[in-house]
Amino acid sequence: MNQLHFQGCNNLEINGITSFDSPEKPYLNPRLQTSEITQIKVIAPRDSPNTDGIDISRSTDVEIYDIIVGTGDDCVALNCGSININITRMQCGPGHGISVGKDGEEAIVENVQVTN
């Protein structure tokens, strides 16, 4: 179960959302095009499994900035088909940071930029 799930969206803006102690992945965003995820906070216990802050797949031209993610899993997970992803000004921890691809699977992820 995901707290928020967006699929097949163009020009989506997610702004100013706070999530505390979600039972599983708070944000799952497949098939986004030209979208922004900004000023969100995702907090879960450090020992909580399966609590990626933001999980992106099959998406292009996504801007992620000014976010705080403190969970027990990935801060941002970039899965197959993540292309032109820009992550700026993110506080991340105690989780696993930014992951690319899934364990044991071949994944195409292109043009990812992370700053600050």
Active site residues: 73, 96
- The tokens describing 107, both together, are 């994944």
Neighbours of 82 (CB within 10 A): 27
**CA distances (Å), 53 to each of 27, 65, 106, in order?**
6, 13, 22
Burial degree of 112 (CB within 10 A; 0-12, 13-18, 19+): middle
- As a whole number of angstroms, the distance between CA 10 and CA 25 comes to 22
Handedness of CA 8, 110, 88, 47 (dihedral sign): positive
